[in-house]
A and B are shown apart, each in its own frame.
Chain A
């Protein structure tokens, strides 16, 4: 499997190659949460991992960070951060990289902050761990960081506890912690899901500015196509542990090829659709997936599915194949689009 060529800045910051994660519980059958995932992110580039909950996107991010529990979890494949292999690296090696070279922002800012420790301590501890700083230097730097992520009156906020901050402020504080050591890679796992809509936009704007300013590679994990549209350069759509479609943002929205992607786009309400136009949901739920070994996991819910989607003719899974410049696709019966790209809207194309 080939990885997508690196971003505009040359060698990719993050290269994920054939990543697989298997959870094995005693007495239960092992489940493969992530299966053969490959992608790359360059500096200043934002890549989206999109899918419904349970599709493996969060597990992918935790696997990259080395944050999955060791017991009962098998990770295979390759994850390279600036050329260094992370899979199989020692715990102490990973700890020196985490927070310094790669950082992560999580979904729920309240539960992701330690309730009994002042914000200031939670910011400075990263600096003290990874950078050669005195406590007072770290405190000054922490105030700067909070200021940079748009928290007003930072020196006062440093002495406060997480519950004293609003949801948006908490997420800003978490972003400040993630950015403390100017990491080359930032992974944001649904960073706006737990926030109010108006705050969501602010946080996304903040993340975009940071990518532009610092040249950080950003992996955006989301189920929200709005976030993808506003932020991502390239998008990988995941389903049941595998990437099923890869495309640049504009391409994806204009001409989705995987029926699942098409369905996702069609199920988003649009202002430009005529009044009374019904939304088109995807049938069933992610639980209806079949194992990839038995065919296409999405086939039970797919309108385009045909006999060969459910029976595995070649004896291997549906492959992820080249589908035009910058695109990859895992589908035997993709959506077809008229050759003229100008007139096609996503919602129209999906039907």
Chain B
């Protein structure tokens, strides 16, 4: 198992190097190059020339790349042209919000998706089955930002049941420790702040969780349908085991293997893909910062955020692989 993990970690190195080369090249290829990226769109040619000289941008590319890599390893991606603050600081400040949102979205997707997919498979051919299949196809076909707007319009603007923007009501003066608002509220025992943060998470989490929900329903359903017909389920029944034991140990346990991969994969995607949802709900996470950076053409932020998000994505996928090894004994041995 340890060797498996070490090998997977070693496989990361070329991928991370490749990523850094791609994003280094990306910034050079931009009209105006890194100077513009650092100084913003309205920088004067003189300023750009001065900047290029100052930061050694007239040196050979390989030297520049190594310097970039050296800074990247220290998580130094320069400063935002829009806010003037270090890119990494902004990222770390905002990541907790995105993590919180992702967790809630996945709780929604898993909590609804697995039971629904399981029931659909058990009642194969029933109206519930058909409805969940159609629903899961629709869930993937709806543009996320449209769904987010719709949810906000109906449940926040029209009905007023839930807050429709931000992470916390402005009137609540909560103490910040970790920047995970719900966690902060629990740690400081400011229950109303924690509850308010949860309320703010509900609509964005549903919008963000819809695609994983649709996928989890489909995979769970297909997987249960596969497993029910497996020989070992017949063996379990031939052994006269109680229905609950057959379901728990022989059907659900095996059916969840492919689902667990999907869950991990989707979690990685959500952490990096909350741009659309977060911006609709003005949710102060990494995604809405990225959205602002796109409109402001804040290249330093774009470069740093995309690189760090890709690394997060790769790391989450690695965790998924490792946990799959823990779940399925057949993988472990290889």
Query: What per-residue 1/0 map shows which CB atoms of B228-242 lie under 8 Å from chain A?
Result: 001110111111111
B241 engages A126 (CB within 8 Å): yes
Q: A163 to B236, Cβ gap below 8 A?
A: no
Residues of A near B328 (CB, < 8 A) are 115-116
Enumerate chain A residues within 8 angstroms of B333, measured Cβ to Cβ. Answer: 163-164
Select which of B235, B237, B241, B245 is within 8 A of A113 by beta carbon. Answer: B235
A174 at the interface (CB under 8 A from B): yes
The 0/1 profile, CB within 8 Å of B marked 1, for residues 106-132 of chain A is: 101001111111000100011001100
The interface-forming segment of A48-56, A93-101, A240-248, A318-326 is: A93-101
Taken together as a complex, chains A and B put the C-alpha atoms of A99 and B235 apart, in Å, by 10
Complex: A97 Cα to B237 Cα, angstroms: 11
B104-148: CB near A (< 8 Å → 1, else 0) gives 000000000000000000000000000000000000000000000
CB–CB A103/B250 < 8 A = no
Q: Is B243 an interface residue (CB 8 A)?
A: yes
Given A111-B232, A163-B329, A163-B330, decide whether A117 and B239 contact each other with a Cβ distance below 8 A: no
Q: Which residues of A contact B239 (CB under 8 A)?
A: 98-99, 103, 125-126, 129, 177-178
Inter-chain contact B254/A116, CB cutoff 8 Å: yes
- In the complex, what residues of B have CB within 8 A of residue A115's CB? 232, 254, 328-330
Question: Assuming A114-B250, A116-B253, is B235 touching A95 (CB within 8 A)?
Answer: no
A-B pair number, CB within 8 angstroms? 87
In the complex, chain A residues whose CB is within 8 Å of the CB of B306: none
Q: In which size bucket is the chain B interface? A: 20 to 34
User: Range of interface residues on chain A?
Assistant: 20 to 34
Are A95 and B232 also in contact (CB < 8 A) when A125-B249, A161-B329 are? no
Check B241–A174 contact: CB distance below 8 A. no
12 inter-chain pairs at a CB distance below 8 angstroms, sorted by A residue, are A67-B234, A67-B237, A94-B240, A95-B240, A100-B240, A112-B232, A117-B249, A125-B249, A129-B241, A129-B245, A163-B329, A164-B333
What is B's interface to A at a CB cutoff of 8 Å?
230-232, 234-243, 245, 249-250, 253-254, 257, 327-330, 333
10 more CB-based (< 8 A) A-B contacts, given A95-B240, A96-B240, A115-B232: A65-B238, A94-B240, A95-B237, A95-B242, A97-B240, A113-B232, A114-B250, A126-B239, A129-B239, A164-B333
